[in-house]
Amino acid sequence: MQTRQGLASYSGYSQDGNRVILEFRAGRLAITALEEGFWRVRYSRQAEFAPRRSWAVTKADSEFAGLSLTVSEEAEIIELSAGQMRLRVNRVEAGVEWRTAVGQVLLQDIQGPQWLADGSFVSYKKMPADEFYYGFGERTGLLNKRGKRYTCWNTDPVDRNMDHGPGANELYQSHPFFMALRPTVGGYGLFLNNTFKTTFDVGHKDPARLSIEGAGGELDYFLIYGPDPATIVQKYTDLTGRMPLPPRWALGYHQCRWSYYPEAKVREIAHELRARKIPADVIHLDIDYMDGFRVFTWDKDRFPDPAKLIGDLGEQGFKVVNIIDPGVKYDPNNGYRVYDEGAEKDYFVRQAGGELFHGYVWPDDSVFADFARAEVREWWGDLHKELLAAGVRGIWNDMNEPAISSTPFEEWGPHIDITLDAPQGSPAELTSHAEIHNLYGLLEDQATYEGWRRLQPDTRPFLLTRAGYAGVQRYSAVWTGDNDAYWEHLEMSMPQLANLGLSGISFAGADIGGFGGTSTPELWARWIQLGAFYPFSRGHAATWTPPKEPWAFGERTESIARRYIELRYRLLPYLYTLFEESSRTGAPILRPLLYQFYQDANTLQLHDQLMLGSALMVAPIYLPGQEYRHVYLPKGQWYNFWNNALQEGSDLLAHAPLEDLPLYVHGGTILPLGPVMQYSDERPLDQLSLEIYLDEHGVARGRLYEDDGISFRYQGGDSCTTLYTAATDAAGKVRVTANRQGQYVPAPRTIEIRVHGLVGTKHTSLAEDKGDWEVSF
C-alpha cells in the first residue's frame, strides 16, 4: 500500500496584500481573501503553484476587490482574519477551519490533506449532523446529496445505466461545486478548481465525513460564505461566469425527435403545430439531416435546399436548431472539407505516440478536433458559417463528453466504452487526458459560441450542450441527456434541474416525455405540465420510440399540452425577466424552495415542488393514477393560480385531475403576463396583464424587463425595466404604480390590472402604457 503524506510542519509565512503563503516542510498553502466571505485555499507540494489559468474561473484573484488580511501565529494554529471571516490553519498538517467572526464554524478539516506518490490527494472534512448538501450539477437522485458519492468525469452512461437510476454516478457534466446548508448557521459553497477526475464522498463511506479526492492537479478550492443560497450562487457565478442573455425565442417551446427528415417531415411537424394551435418556436434537426453523419454537411436528397426550408419555416415563426457532434468522419480523399482541412492543418487529436486518435461514433470511424488549442477552436467556430448563412438559429452540441465506441456502431446504437485518451492542447500548454477530459464539451461550446459571435456579431447565440464543466453556462444551455419515459424520471427532473440551477446552470431542461421508452398519454400529459416550466422546454424522443409529439397521444393529451404550453407563452414576459436577472446575478430560474426559504427546515429536502422565480410555485403530479398530492406552503400568503383563492395553512391536499397542475403564487408579487401567442414574436406585447397578489400587509412588487429580444443592443443600454408596486391604504384602496427605467421603448399596449387579495379580485385597465403611471382603485 502506498503511504499518504501531508504537508508536515509549518515554518513561516509571507504576505502579499490579501494573499498569504504559509510554508510547510513538504509544501505550501496559499490563502487569498478575495472579498467578504469569499476565500481561496490552494495547496501545492511543489515550490511553485501551477501557472495555468483555470478554464472554469473567469476572474483572476487580482480582479476581486480584495480584503485586508491579518495573520496571527498562535501556539497550535495560524489564524488569518479578513472582514467577517477567520481561517485557522493547523501547524502540523495544514488542516483548515473556516469560521465566521461570531465563531460559527462553517467548515472544518478532520486532518490536513494527504497526497499519494502518484499525485492524487484527499482532504477530509467534518459533516455536521444537521447539514444538507446540494449542487454537483445534473446528478440523479433526490435533492439533498448527503450520503452520496460522486465522481466528476464526463460520461455518456449508455449501456452501463441507460436508466439514469438513483445509483448512477457520472453523467455528462462535471461540476465540482456544492453548497452546504444548516438551518441554524446558514450555508457556504465550495468550488474545487480542478479538472481532473475528482470525487466527493458526501458521507457515503463514513456518515460524518466529507472527502474530497482528486486524481491529480492541485487541491485548490474557493470557499463562499452565504449565509443564504442566493448569495452563494451569485458569488459562485461571479467566479465561473453566467449565462449570457439568450435570444427571447429560445424561451419558447422546442419540438424535437431523432430525427425529423426528409424536409417534408419537418414541414409536416411545423404544419401540425400551427394547425393544432400548439405554440412552438423551435424545431430541432437531429443527426439525420447530415450527409452520412458528416458534421457541417446536409444530406442533399433529404434536404435539397436548406435555406429555402428554413426561410419557409421562418415565415411561420419557426427557428431551426441543428445538432453537431464532435466526431468528424475519417474520410480521406473524398472531398469532405472538414476532414481534409482538419487533417491538413493537423487539428485532430493525436495519441501520445503521435498517431491520429480514432474512435467510432455515428459516422463510424471518426477523428476529434483538439478544442484545447485556440486555433482549432477558431477553425471549428468558423465551420458554422454555412449553417448560419442558411438561417440555422441554434447549435445543439451533442456527444461531447466525448462519447466514443471502440467498435463500429451496430443497428441498436452506440456502446460507448472508450475515452479520448490522448494529450491535448498546444505544445506550450500540452495537457494530459486526465486533466482535459472534463473540458472537452465546454471547449467545444466555447469554440461554437465564439465562432458565432464572429460570424453573426449582432444576434445572440443559442447553444445547447450535453457535456460540460463548471462555467459551461457562459456558452450554452444544458439538457440532461438521455432520460427515459419513466415516471421516476419525470420526478427526478425536479431535483436534477434544481441542483443544476444551484450549480450556476440556469438555462436547463430535461427531455419532456422521456427520450427513450414508450410514454403513456398520462405520463406525457403530466410531463408537459411540469416541462412547460423548465427553463429549457423541449419535447424529444429517441428514434426507436413511438411518436411523442403533443398530438401523438390523443385529443385529451393534446389539449392538455396546448393549455400548458399556452400558459408558458403567457408567462414569457415574466420568464424573460427571470432570464435577464439570471444573466446578471446567476440566480437560478427554476429553484428549489430552499433557495428562497432556507430558514424553513421543511424546505431543505423538498424535491417535488419548485419555484419559477420568486413568484410561482409548481407542485406537479408525478405518479400514475394520482389526482391528489400534498403541497407544502412556506410562510406568507399563497394564492391558487387558477382561481386566485387564498390558501389556508401550510399543508394542503391539492386536487389535480389529469387536466390540472397545482400552481401557486407567492403573496407580495406582481406577475406580468402576455397574451397567448403561437410563437414568441408573433406580435409585440400589445396586451400586458399585471396580476397582483397582495401579501399580508396589502403590498406587492413586480418587475418587467424588455429589449429587442435578439440583438446585443441591450448591452449598450437599449433595454428597459419597469418596476411595479402595489400598496393598500387604510380605506382598502389599492394604489398601483409603474416606474420605468431605460431607453428601450416597447410597442404600444393596453394594460389589464387585477389585484387579488383578502377580499377577492379587483380589476381595472389602462388604454395606454405610458411607462410611468399610477392608478388607485
Mind telling me the catalytic residues? 398, 401, 482
Which of 481, 495, 573, 702 binds ligand GLC (CB under 6 A)? It is 481
What is the closest distance, in whole angstroms, from the C-beta atom of residue 467 to ligand GLC in the complex?
10
Task: Specify the residue, 85 or 290, whose C-beta has the smaller distance to ligand GLC.
Answer: 290
Is residue 323 at the binding interface for ligand GLC, with CB under 6 A as the rule? yes
Distance CA 535, CA 662 (A): 18
Task: Specify the residue, 413 or 742, whose C-beta has the smaller distance to ligand GLC.
Answer: 413
**Best CA proximity match to 339, nearest among 327, 351, 350:** 327
Distance CA 487, CA 625 (A): 11
Which residues lie across from 453 on neighbouring strands? none
> What value, to the nearest 5°, has the Cα angle with vertex 160 and ends 159 and 166?
125
Is residue 549 at the binding interface for ligand GLC, with CB under 6 A as the rule? no
What is the closest distance, in whole angstroms, from the C-beta atom of residue 509 to ligand GLC in the complex?
12
Is residue 295 at the binding interface for ligand GLC, with CB under 6 A as the rule? no
3-class secondary-structure state, position 655: strand
Residue 298: all three cell numbers together? 446536409
Is residue 398 at the binding interface for ligand GLC, with CB under 6 A as the rule? yes
Task: Give how far Cα 489 sits from Cα of 165, 481, 496, 674, Å.
Answer: 8, 12, 10, 31
Tell me the torsion sign for CA atoms 161, 164, 166, 171: positive
Task: Give how far Cα 291 sits from Cα of 266, 268, 364, 385, Å.
Answer: 17, 22, 13, 17
Do 210 and 124 meet the contact criterion of CB atoms below 8 Å apart?
yes
The residue count for the chain: 777
Which of 192, 273, 287, 720 binds ligand GLC (CB under 6 A)? It is 287
What is the closest distance, in whole angstroms, from the C-beta atom of residue 440 to ligand GLC in the complex?
15
Task: Specify the residue, 463 or 720, whose C-beta has the smaller distance to ligand GLC.
Answer: 463
Is residue 668 at the binding interface for ligand GLC, with CB under 6 A as the rule? no
Which of 299, 482, 558, 566 binds ligand GLC (CB under 6 A)? It is 482
Task: Specify the residue, 10 or 258, whose C-beta has the smaller distance to ligand GLC.
Answer: 258
| Residue 295, phi then psi, degrees to nearest 5 | -65, 150
Task: Specify the residue, 138 or 286, whose C-beta has the smaller distance to ligand GLC.
Answer: 286
Task: Specify the residue, 481 or 535, whose C-beta has the smaller distance to ligand GLC.
Answer: 481
What is the closest distance, in whole angstroms, from the C-beta atom of residue 319 to ligand GLC in the complex?
18
What is the closest distance, in whole angstroms, from the C-beta atom of residue 540 to ligand GLC in the complex?
6
Task: Specify the residue, 202 or 287, whose C-beta has the smaller distance to ligand GLC.
Answer: 287
What is the closest distance, in whole angstroms, from the C-beta atom of residue 166 to ligand GLC in the complex?
20
Number of Cβ atoms within 10 Å of the Cβ of 518:
14
Which of 138, 170, 286, 445 binds ligand GLC (CB under 6 A)? It is 286
Is residue 401 at the binding interface for ligand GLC, with CB under 6 A as the rule? no
Q: From start to end of 433-554, where are the E strands? A: 463-465, 468-469, 477-479, 508-509, 537-539
Count of residues that bind ligand GLC according to CB under 6 A:
10
Those residues whose C-beta lies under 8 Å from the C-beta of residue 53, and which sit 6 or more positions away, are 60
Tell me which residues in 253-272 interact with ligand GLC (CB under 6 A): 258
User: Which string of DSSP letters, residue by residue, matches 359-418?
Assistant: EEETTEEEEEB-TTSHHHHHHHHHTTHHHHHTT--EEEE-STTT-BBSSPPBTTB----B
What ranges in 405-520 are assigned the alpha helix state H?
433-436, 440-455, 487-502
**Measured at CB, which residue is nearest to ligand GLC?**
258
What is the closest distance, in whole angstroms, from the C-beta atom of residue 531 to ligand GLC in the complex?
15
What is the closest distance, in whole angstroms, from the C-beta atom of residue 367 to ligand GLC in the complex?
19
Is residue 466 at the binding interface for ligand GLC, with CB under 6 A as the rule? yes
Task: Specify the residue, 466 or 740, whose C-beta has the smaller distance to ligand GLC.
Answer: 466
What ranges in 244-315 are assigned the alpha helix state H?
263-275, 306-315
- Chain contacts with ligand GLC (rule: CB under 6 A): 258, 286-287, 323, 398, 466, 481-482, 515, 540
